[in-house]
Structure 1
Amino acid sequence: MEPFLVKLGDHTDQTTKQMLQNLIVKKVKYTRYKRAHFLIMFTAFLFAFIVFYFIYKTAIEPNSYSLLDLFSVFVREGNFFVLTFIAFFLFGSVKIIFEKKEKAEKEYHALRCEIIEKSKDLWKGENWKQRHKVFEQMKKKYDINLYHQSK
Protein backbone atom coordinates (compact mmCIF):
# COMPACT_ATOMS: atom_id res chain seq x y z
CA MET A 1 0.00 0.00 0.00
CA GLU A 2 1.19 3.52 -0.76
CA PRO A 3 2.91 5.24 2.20
CA PHE A 4 0.59 8.24 2.29
CA LEU A 5 -2.43 5.90 2.47
CA VAL A 6 -0.94 4.19 5.52
CA LYS A 7 -0.34 7.58 7.17
CA LEU A 8 -4.00 8.57 6.82
CA GLY A 9 -4.73 6.80 10.08
CA ASP A 10 -8.32 6.69 11.30
CA HIS A 11 -9.59 9.43 8.97
CA THR A 12 -10.12 6.81 6.28
CA ASP A 13 -11.24 3.22 6.78
CA GLN A 14 -9.42 0.21 5.33
CA THR A 15 -11.94 -0.34 2.53
CA THR A 16 -11.51 3.21 1.29
CA LYS A 17 -7.74 2.90 1.48
CA GLN A 18 -7.91 -0.25 -0.61
CA MET A 19 -10.13 1.46 -3.18
CA LEU A 20 -7.67 4.35 -3.39
CA GLN A 21 -4.79 1.89 -3.74
CA ASN A 22 -6.61 0.12 -6.58
CA LEU A 23 -7.21 3.50 -8.22
CA ILE A 24 -3.50 4.31 -8.04
CA VAL A 25 -2.62 0.93 -9.57
CA LYS A 26 -5.10 1.46 -12.41
CA LYS A 27 -3.75 4.96 -13.04
CA VAL A 28 -0.17 3.65 -13.22
CA LYS A 29 -1.26 0.89 -15.60
CA TYR A 30 -3.10 3.38 -17.81
CA THR A 31 -0.12 5.74 -17.87
CA ARG A 32 2.23 2.88 -18.77
CA TYR A 33 0.03 1.81 -21.71
CA LYS A 34 -0.33 5.43 -22.81
CA ARG A 35 3.45 5.86 -22.96
CA ALA A 36 3.96 2.50 -24.66
CA HIS A 37 1.31 3.34 -27.27
CA PHE A 38 2.98 6.64 -28.08
CA LEU A 39 6.44 5.07 -28.26
CA ILE A 40 5.39 2.18 -30.50
CA MET A 41 3.31 4.46 -32.72
CA PHE A 42 6.23 6.86 -33.15
CA THR A 43 8.56 3.94 -33.88
CA ALA A 44 6.13 2.44 -36.40
CA PHE A 45 5.71 5.69 -38.32
CA LEU A 46 9.44 6.38 -38.32
CA PHE A 47 10.24 2.84 -39.43
CA ALA A 48 7.57 2.93 -42.15
CA PHE A 49 8.93 6.23 -43.46
CA ILE A 50 12.49 4.86 -43.54
CA VAL A 51 11.37 1.64 -45.26
CA PHE A 52 9.36 3.57 -47.84
CA TYR A 53 12.31 5.87 -48.52
CA PHE A 54 14.68 2.87 -48.79
CA ILE A 55 12.37 1.04 -51.21
CA TYR A 56 11.82 4.18 -53.24
CA LYS A 57 15.54 4.93 -53.60
CA THR A 58 16.68 1.35 -54.25
CA ALA A 59 13.81 -0.11 -56.27
CA ILE A 60 11.24 2.35 -57.52
CA GLU A 61 13.44 5.23 -58.68
CA PRO A 62 15.96 3.15 -60.70
CA ASN A 63 13.24 0.93 -62.23
CA SER A 64 10.43 3.41 -62.72
CA TYR A 65 10.52 3.03 -66.49
CA SER A 66 9.32 -0.60 -66.41
CA LEU A 67 6.70 -2.13 -64.18
CA LEU A 68 8.00 -5.63 -64.91
CA ASP A 69 11.54 -4.69 -63.81
CA LEU A 70 10.13 -3.10 -60.67
CA PHE A 71 8.18 -6.25 -59.87
CA SER A 72 11.24 -8.46 -60.48
CA VAL A 73 13.31 -6.33 -58.07
CA PHE A 74 10.66 -6.79 -55.36
CA VAL A 75 10.59 -10.55 -55.91
CA ARG A 76 14.37 -10.86 -56.15
CA GLU A 77 15.12 -8.83 -53.01
CA GLY A 78 13.92 -10.61 -49.86
CA ASN A 79 14.75 -7.56 -47.75
CA PHE A 80 11.72 -5.69 -49.03
CA PHE A 81 9.33 -8.39 -47.82
CA VAL A 82 11.02 -8.62 -44.43
CA LEU A 83 11.01 -4.86 -43.92
CA THR A 84 7.37 -4.61 -45.01
CA PHE A 85 6.44 -7.46 -42.65
CA ILE A 86 8.19 -5.70 -39.75
CA ALA A 87 6.32 -2.47 -40.55
CA PHE A 88 2.96 -4.29 -40.56
CA PHE A 89 3.93 -6.02 -37.31
CA LEU A 90 4.67 -2.65 -35.70
CA PHE A 91 1.34 -1.21 -36.82
CA GLY A 92 -0.41 -4.32 -35.49
CA SER A 93 1.34 -3.79 -32.18
CA VAL A 94 0.12 -0.20 -32.14
CA LYS A 95 -3.45 -1.45 -32.54
CA ILE A 96 -3.11 -4.01 -29.74
CA ILE A 97 -1.51 -1.54 -27.32
CA PHE A 98 -4.17 1.04 -28.20
CA GLU A 99 -6.94 -1.40 -27.28
CA LYS A 100 -5.21 -2.23 -23.98
CA LYS A 101 -4.78 1.48 -23.28
CA GLU A 102 -8.47 2.12 -23.92
CA LYS A 103 -9.48 -0.75 -21.63
CA ALA A 104 -7.16 0.48 -18.86
CA GLU A 105 -8.56 4.01 -19.23
CA LYS A 106 -12.15 2.77 -18.94
CA GLU A 107 -11.32 0.75 -15.82
CA TYR A 108 -9.48 3.67 -14.24
CA HIS A 109 -12.22 6.17 -15.06
CA ALA A 110 -14.98 3.83 -13.82
CA LEU A 111 -13.27 3.30 -10.47
CA ARG A 112 -12.53 7.02 -10.13
CA CYS A 113 -16.18 7.87 -10.80
CA GLU A 114 -17.31 5.22 -8.32
CA ILE A 115 -15.14 6.73 -5.59
CA ILE A 116 -16.50 10.20 -6.37
CA GLU A 117 -20.11 8.97 -6.29
CA LYS A 118 -19.61 7.04 -3.06
CA SER A 119 -17.54 9.69 -1.30
CA LYS A 120 -20.47 10.53 1.01
CA ASP A 121 -20.58 6.91 2.14
CA LEU A 122 -16.80 6.48 2.36
CA TRP A 123 -16.18 9.55 4.52
CA LYS A 124 -18.88 9.96 7.14
CA GLY A 125 -19.18 12.38 10.05
CA GLU A 126 -15.91 13.98 11.12
CA ASN A 127 -14.02 12.16 8.38
CA TRP A 128 -15.94 14.18 5.76
CA LYS A 129 -13.98 17.27 6.83
CA GLN A 130 -10.68 15.41 6.33
CA ARG A 131 -11.38 14.00 2.86
CA HIS A 132 -10.06 17.08 1.08
CA LYS A 133 -6.58 16.18 2.38
CA VAL A 134 -6.84 12.81 0.67
CA PHE A 135 -8.13 14.41 -2.53
CA GLU A 136 -5.28 16.94 -2.53
CA GLN A 137 -2.67 14.20 -2.03
CA MET A 138 -4.14 12.10 -4.83
CA LYS A 139 -4.14 15.13 -7.16
CA LYS A 140 -0.65 16.24 -6.21
CA LYS A 141 1.13 12.87 -6.15
CA TYR A 142 -0.72 10.86 -8.80
CA ASP A 143 -2.61 13.44 -10.87
CA ILE A 144 -5.92 11.80 -9.97
CA ASN A 145 -8.80 14.26 -9.71
CA LEU A 146 -11.41 13.09 -7.21
CA TYR A 147 -13.29 16.39 -7.07
CA HIS A 148 -15.16 16.06 -10.38
CA GLN A 149 -16.15 13.18 -12.65
CA SER A 150 -15.23 14.82 -15.94
CA LYS A 151 -11.94 13.73 -17.47
Structure 2
Amino acid sequence: MESSIIMLDDRTDQATKQMLQKIVEKKKKFDLFKFRHLLSMWASIFSSFFYFYYLYKTIMIPYSYSFASMFSVYVNQSKNLYILVFIVGLYGLMNLLREKREKAEKEYHALRCEIIDKSKDLWKREEAWRTRHHVYEMMKKNYDINLFHESK
Protein backbone atom coordinates (compact mmCIF):
# COMPACT_ATOMS: atom_id res chain seq x y z
CA MET A 1 0.00 0.00 0.00
CA GLU A 2 1.20 3.52 -0.75
CA SER A 3 2.84 5.30 2.17
CA SER A 4 0.72 8.45 1.87
CA ILE A 5 -2.46 6.33 2.00
CA ILE A 6 -1.18 4.47 5.06
CA MET A 7 -0.43 7.79 6.78
CA LEU A 8 -4.11 8.85 6.58
CA ASP A 9 -4.60 7.17 9.98
CA ASP A 10 -8.01 7.93 11.48
CA ARG A 11 -9.29 10.06 8.59
CA THR A 12 -10.36 6.93 6.73
CA ASP A 13 -11.18 3.35 7.57
CA GLN A 14 -9.41 0.33 6.11
CA ALA A 15 -11.98 -0.25 3.35
CA THR A 16 -11.61 3.33 2.13
CA LYS A 17 -7.83 2.98 2.16
CA GLN A 18 -8.17 -0.15 0.01
CA MET A 19 -10.39 1.74 -2.44
CA LEU A 20 -7.87 4.59 -2.60
CA GLN A 21 -5.07 2.10 -3.17
CA LYS A 22 -7.04 0.47 -6.00
CA ILE A 23 -7.65 3.81 -7.68
CA VAL A 24 -3.94 4.62 -7.47
CA GLU A 25 -3.15 1.26 -9.10
CA LYS A 26 -5.73 1.89 -11.85
CA LYS A 27 -4.28 5.36 -12.47
CA LYS A 28 -0.74 3.96 -12.76
CA LYS A 29 -1.97 1.28 -15.16
CA PHE A 30 -3.79 3.90 -17.24
CA ASP A 31 -0.71 6.16 -17.32
CA LEU A 32 1.49 3.24 -18.38
CA PHE A 33 -0.78 2.29 -21.29
CA LYS A 34 -1.12 5.95 -22.24
CA PHE A 35 2.68 6.29 -22.43
CA ARG A 36 3.11 3.05 -24.36
CA HIS A 37 0.39 4.01 -26.84
CA LEU A 38 1.98 7.41 -27.39
CA LEU A 39 5.40 5.83 -27.86
CA SER A 40 4.13 3.26 -30.38
CA MET A 41 2.17 5.94 -32.23
CA TRP A 42 5.21 8.15 -32.70
CA ALA A 43 7.39 5.16 -33.59
CA SER A 44 4.97 4.13 -36.33
CA ILE A 45 4.71 7.69 -37.66
CA PHE A 46 8.47 8.25 -37.77
CA SER A 47 9.26 4.84 -39.22
CA SER A 48 6.59 5.31 -41.92
CA PHE A 49 7.94 8.73 -42.77
CA PHE A 50 11.54 7.55 -43.04
CA TYR A 51 10.51 4.47 -45.04
CA PHE A 52 8.58 6.53 -47.57
CA TYR A 53 11.47 8.99 -47.75
CA TYR A 54 13.82 6.07 -48.40
CA LEU A 55 11.51 4.76 -51.13
CA TYR A 56 11.31 8.19 -52.68
CA LYS A 57 15.09 8.61 -52.81
CA THR A 58 16.02 5.06 -53.87
CA ILE A 59 13.14 3.97 -56.09
CA MET A 60 10.88 6.82 -57.16
CA ILE A 61 13.49 9.35 -58.28
CA PRO A 62 15.85 6.97 -60.17
CA TYR A 63 13.07 4.94 -61.80
CA SER A 64 10.40 7.60 -62.27
CA TYR A 65 10.28 7.09 -66.03
CA SER A 66 8.21 3.90 -65.66
CA PHE A 67 5.86 2.53 -63.04
CA ALA A 68 6.70 -1.01 -64.09
CA SER A 69 10.39 -0.46 -63.42
CA MET A 70 9.63 1.12 -60.01
CA PHE A 71 7.45 -1.83 -59.09
CA SER A 72 10.04 -4.31 -60.34
CA VAL A 73 12.85 -2.72 -58.31
CA TYR A 74 10.60 -2.51 -55.22
CA VAL A 75 9.61 -6.18 -55.41
CA ASN A 76 13.15 -7.40 -56.11
CA GLN A 77 14.46 -5.97 -52.83
CA SER A 78 13.34 -8.28 -50.03
CA LYS A 79 14.20 -5.75 -47.31
CA ASN A 80 11.19 -3.71 -48.46
CA LEU A 81 8.90 -6.56 -47.45
CA TYR A 82 10.51 -6.83 -44.01
CA ILE A 83 10.34 -3.09 -43.42
CA LEU A 84 6.71 -3.00 -44.55
CA VAL A 85 5.80 -5.90 -42.23
CA PHE A 86 7.58 -4.10 -39.38
CA ILE A 87 5.65 -0.87 -39.98
CA VAL A 88 2.31 -2.69 -40.27
CA GLY A 89 3.17 -4.54 -37.04
CA LEU A 90 3.88 -1.21 -35.30
CA TYR A 91 0.54 0.09 -36.52
CA GLY A 92 -1.22 -3.01 -35.15
CA LEU A 93 0.59 -2.64 -31.83
CA MET A 94 -0.48 0.99 -31.69
CA ASN A 95 -4.14 0.00 -32.17
CA LEU A 96 -3.87 -2.77 -29.56
CA LEU A 97 -2.35 -0.38 -27.03
CA ARG A 98 -5.04 2.22 -27.81
CA GLU A 99 -7.73 -0.33 -26.94
CA LYS A 100 -5.95 -1.29 -23.71
CA ARG A 101 -5.51 2.39 -22.83
CA GLU A 102 -9.21 3.05 -23.36
CA LYS A 103 -10.15 0.04 -21.23
CA ALA A 104 -7.80 1.11 -18.42
CA GLU A 105 -9.16 4.66 -18.62
CA LYS A 106 -12.74 3.40 -18.39
CA GLU A 107 -11.90 1.25 -15.33
CA TYR A 108 -10.05 4.13 -13.67
CA HIS A 109 -12.83 6.66 -14.20
CA ALA A 110 -15.51 4.18 -13.11
CA LEU A 111 -13.73 3.57 -9.81
CA ARG A 112 -13.07 7.29 -9.36
CA CYS A 113 -16.75 8.10 -9.90
CA GLU A 114 -17.74 5.28 -7.53
CA ILE A 115 -15.61 6.80 -4.76
CA ILE A 116 -17.16 10.21 -5.41
CA ASP A 117 -20.67 8.77 -5.35
CA LYS A 118 -20.06 6.77 -2.17
CA SER A 119 -18.25 9.57 -0.32
CA LYS A 120 -21.16 10.00 2.11
CA ASP A 121 -20.93 6.31 3.02
CA LEU A 122 -17.13 6.27 3.21
CA TRP A 123 -16.93 9.25 5.56
CA LYS A 124 -19.98 8.69 7.78
CA ARG A 125 -18.77 10.38 10.94
CA GLU A 126 -19.22 14.15 11.08
CA GLU A 127 -15.56 14.91 11.81
CA ALA A 128 -14.42 12.54 9.06
CA TRP A 129 -16.78 14.25 6.62
CA ARG A 130 -15.28 17.65 7.46
CA THR A 131 -11.71 16.40 6.99
CA ARG A 132 -12.28 14.40 3.81
CA HIS A 133 -11.00 17.32 1.73
CA HIS A 134 -7.53 16.60 3.16
CA VAL A 135 -7.73 13.13 1.65
CA TYR A 136 -8.94 14.57 -1.66
CA GLU A 137 -6.15 17.15 -1.73
CA MET A 138 -3.54 14.49 -0.93
CA MET A 139 -4.81 12.30 -3.79
CA LYS A 140 -4.75 15.27 -6.17
CA LYS A 141 -1.29 16.41 -5.11
CA ASN A 142 0.45 13.03 -4.89
CA TYR A 143 -1.27 11.01 -7.60
CA ASP A 144 -3.08 13.57 -9.81
CA ILE A 145 -6.43 11.95 -9.04
CA ASN A 146 -9.32 14.41 -8.77
CA LEU A 147 -11.95 13.20 -6.34
CA PHE A 148 -13.70 16.57 -6.01
CA HIS A 149 -15.73 16.29 -9.23
CA GLU A 150 -16.87 13.46 -11.51
CA SER A 151 -15.92 15.18 -14.75
CA LYS A 152 -12.54 14.28 -16.18
- Show the counterpart of 1:141: 142
Q: Partners of 1:138 and 1:5 in 2: how far apart?
A: 9
Q: What is the one-letter code of the residue matched to 1:77?
A: Q
Number of positions where the alignment pairs a residue of Structure 1 with one of Structure 2? 151
- Show the counterpart of 1:37: 37
Give the drift of 1:95: 0.2
Q: Deviations over 1:6-40 (max 9, x none)?
A: 11112211110000000000000101111111111
Q: Partners of 1:60 and 1:89 in 2: how far apart?
A: 24
Q: Deviations over 1:67-119 (max 9, x none)?
A: 22111101210111111111111111110000000000000000000000000
In structure 1, the gaps of 5 or more residues are none
Identical counterparts, % of pairs: 51
In structure 2, the gaps of 5 or more residues are none
- Show the counterpart of 1:117: 117
Give the drift of 1:64: 1.2
- Show the counterpart of 2:57: 57
- Show the counterpart of 2:77: 77
Question: Does 48-57 or 3-12 show the bigger shift?
Answer: 3-12
Q: What is the one-letter code of the residue matched to 1:144?
A: I
Alignment of 1:99-110 (within 5 A): 99-110=99-110
Q: What is the one-letter code of the residue matched to 2:77?
A: E
Q: Partners of 1:7 and 1:83 in 2: how far apart?
A: 52
Kindly report the root-mean-square deviation, in angstroms, between the aligned alpha carbons of the 2 structures: 0.8
* Alignment TM-score, normalising by the size of structure 1: 0.97
Runs ≥4 in structure 1, deviation > 2 angstroms?
A: none
Q: Partners of 2:79 and 2:149 in 1: how far apart?
A: 53
Q: Partners of 2:37 and 2:137 in 1: how far apart?
A: 29
